């Protein structure tokens, strides 16, 4: 009778593996952007800032937890050896963030110098957009309550503005950071001023309606640049909407049922579109709102009929506010059909499915729609920064530490965007997959019971080989 084979015993050893693909890529991109010169001038004494930053960027594009964890990872003997560093304390990394944050504007300007010297970009049209990030804690001056894109109105936040060279380049070239209560119209000026000097005459500045104002569009035109934005529909638009079919709208996208008309103004053009798919979405949303209000009214009426207190969700819950409620719903005088009709008249406004773009440039309807649609690439940058580069959550630090942490995230994103720009095959590959592929390429340092360490490379794949070969070619080396 054959004996059952025994499970091999697992014996612990001292081997260590780390993401050599990420480290090599950071090293190469650091050289491409001449980062040693950009950062080196801001710290000349003590530990080498460039060695630390290479290690920090490598960590950011790999595990990316806290500064504490970054400090632990970098202080492994083998990692210190790769970056030619001596062991250092956790506080050293916080001082690096402070230094980067204190010189953020000069660093952004220097990076722009390198980008525009190195690359002959086919255009300098830019997308601009703004978002917010939750700030945990109450000590940093930047933290303010404001409109939260992260759906956390209970937390203080900061706002970010990002500029990117538009499609097909899609490289971020600007980052501005403002207090959390700064609205987009106000933040626009700082974001725009950071990049406007890099733009060629008649370049197109594309941004959404949150930042649209007469002052901001006039600022762009005064610099001999063009703009495209979205505008809020108003009563003058309602008159055109009511006669939309009489203008013989042109079909732009048959699949989504998008048709449009151009309205020429003295100094701009309005592009008014109607979308069947958008109308369906908006009507469904309004129907849900009508049902919600019917249910709320019924709950309140039931409380009145039974002589009960209003349900808690309808009351003001503040110990410092004393309120006597006198509530009567219209349900006692309306049938449910009449109530629905009343809500429809007040919630459905006839604008469902319509949206309007505005530009200083006279384009075709199709060109205008396509140009604005491509602005969603900057939304992908925000998603990448927040969820893949993981610049959040932000903890309580000084303002300069917050600036520095966000700059590390922004430059990490710039590295990934440059990979996509320089390697056409990766144009549509997400940050997540590029990061994962690079970190999968590991080197294992085998020192167990050996007098001499051996290095074992593993997990090559199509993406990391493509990236490493590309930058080895740039540096004049070879990859075997």
Residue 146 DSSP code? -
Distance, CA of 234 to CA of 232 (rounded, Å): 6
Tokens of 175: 């980052």
Distance, CA of 474 to CA of 24 (rounded, Å): 13
Distance, CA of 331 to CA of 165 (rounded, Å): 55
- Sorting pLDDT into bands at 50, 70 and 90, what band is 407? very high
The partner residues of 456 in beta bridges, in order of sequence, read: 444
Cα-based distances in Å from 331 to 238, 310, 314: 31, 16, 17
Q: What are the φ and ψ backbone dihedral angles of 163, each rounded to 5 degrees?
A: -115, 140
Angle of CA points 36, 37, 38, to nearest 5°: 95
Distance, CA of 295 to CA of 52 (rounded, Å): 59
Neighbours of 452 (CB within 10 A): 6
For 81, residues 6+ apart whose C-beta sits below 8 A from its C-beta are: none
Torsion, Cα 340 341 342 346, to 10 degrees, reads: 100
pLDDT tens for 145-179 read: 877 777 777 788 899 999 999 999 999 999 999 99
- pLDDT value at residue 175: 98
Distance, CA of 228 to CA of 357 (rounded, Å): 7
Please determine, for residue 109, whether its predicted confidence score (pLDDT) is greater than 50.
yes
For 465, residues 6+ apart whose C-beta sits below 8 A from its C-beta are: 479
The stretch 174-187 carries a mean pLDDT of 94
pLDDT tens for 16-47 read: 677 888 999 999 999 999 999 999 999 878 88
Of residues 276 and 397, more confidence is placed in 276
Residue 264 DSSP code? E
Distance, CA of 180 to CA of 329 (rounded, Å): 39
Cβ pair 301, 388 in contact under 8 A: no
Q: Give the pTM.
A: 0.84
> 3-state class of 411 per DSSP?
helix
Could you tell me which of 105, 144, 237, 129 has the C-alpha nearest to residue 184?
129
Of residues 453 and 456, more confidence is placed in 456
- pLDDT value at residue 453: 66
Distance, CA of 427 to CA of 168 (rounded, Å): 9
Please determine, for residue 293, whether its predicted confidence score (pLDDT) is greater than 90.
no
Average pLDDT over the chain, rounded to whole?
A: 86
The two beta strands, 204-206 and 126-134, are: parallel
Please state whether 312 falls in left (phi above 0), alpha (psi between -120 and 50) or beta: alpha
């Amino acid at each position: 009778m054959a004996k059952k084979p025994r499970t091999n015993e697992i014996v612990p050893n001292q081997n260590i593996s780390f993401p050599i693909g990420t480290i090599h890529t950071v090293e190469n991109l650091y050289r491409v952007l001449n980062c040693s010169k950009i950062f080196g001038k801001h710290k000349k004494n003590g530990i080498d800032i460039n060695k630390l930053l290479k290690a920090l960027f490598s960590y950011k594009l790999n595990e990316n937890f806290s500064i504490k964890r970054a400090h632990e990872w970098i202080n492994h003997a083998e990692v210190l050896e790769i970056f030619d560093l001596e062991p250092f304390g956790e506080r050293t990394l916080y001082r690096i963030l402070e230094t980067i944050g204190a010189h953020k504007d000069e660093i952004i300007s220097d990076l722009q110098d390198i980008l525009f010297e190195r690359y002959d970009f086919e255009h300098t049209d830019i997308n601009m957009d703004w978002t917010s990030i939750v700030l945990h804690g109450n000590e940093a001056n930047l933290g303010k309550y404001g409109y939260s894109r992260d759906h956390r109105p209970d937390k203080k936040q900061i706002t970010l503005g990002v500029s990117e060279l538009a499609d097909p380049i899609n490289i971020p070239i600007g980052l501005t950071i403002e207090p959390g209560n700064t609205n987009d119209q106000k933040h626009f000026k700082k974001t725009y001023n950071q990049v406007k000097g890099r733009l060629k005459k008649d370049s197109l500045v594309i941004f959404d309606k949150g930042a649209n104002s007469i002052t901001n569009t006039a600022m762009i035109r005064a610099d001999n640049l063009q703009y495209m934005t979205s505008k809020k529909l108003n009563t003058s638009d309602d008159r055109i909407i009511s006669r939309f079919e009489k203008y013989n709208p042109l079909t732009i996208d048959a699949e989504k049922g998008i048709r449009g008309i151009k309205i020429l103004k003295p100094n701009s053009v309005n592009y008014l579109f109607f979308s069947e798919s958008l109308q369906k979405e908006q009507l469904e949303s309004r129907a849900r709102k009508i049902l919600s209000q019917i249910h709320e009214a019924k709950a309140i009426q039931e409380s009145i009929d039974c002589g009960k207190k209003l349900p808690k969700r309808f009351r003001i819950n503040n110990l410092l506010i004393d309120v006597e409620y006198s509530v009567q719903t219209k349900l006692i005088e309306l049938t449910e059909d009449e109530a629905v009709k009343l809500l429809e008249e007040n919630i459905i406004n006839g604008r469902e499915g319509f949206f309007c773009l505005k530009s200083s440039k006279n384009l075709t309807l199709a060109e205008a729609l396509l140009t604005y649609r491509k602005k969603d690439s900057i939304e992908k940058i925000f998603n990448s920064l927040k969820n893949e580069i993981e610049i959040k959550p932000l903890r309580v630090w000084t303002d300069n530490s917050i600036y520095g942490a966000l700059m590390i995230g922004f430059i990490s994103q710039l590295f990934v965007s440059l990979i996509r720009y320089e390697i056409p095959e990766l144009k549509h590959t997400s940050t997540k997959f590029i990061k994962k592929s690079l970190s999968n390429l590991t080197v294992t340092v085998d020192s167990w019971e050996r007098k001499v360490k051996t290095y074992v490379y593993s997990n090559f794949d199509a993406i990391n080989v493509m990236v490493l070969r590309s930058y080895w070619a740039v540096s004049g080396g070879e990859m075997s």
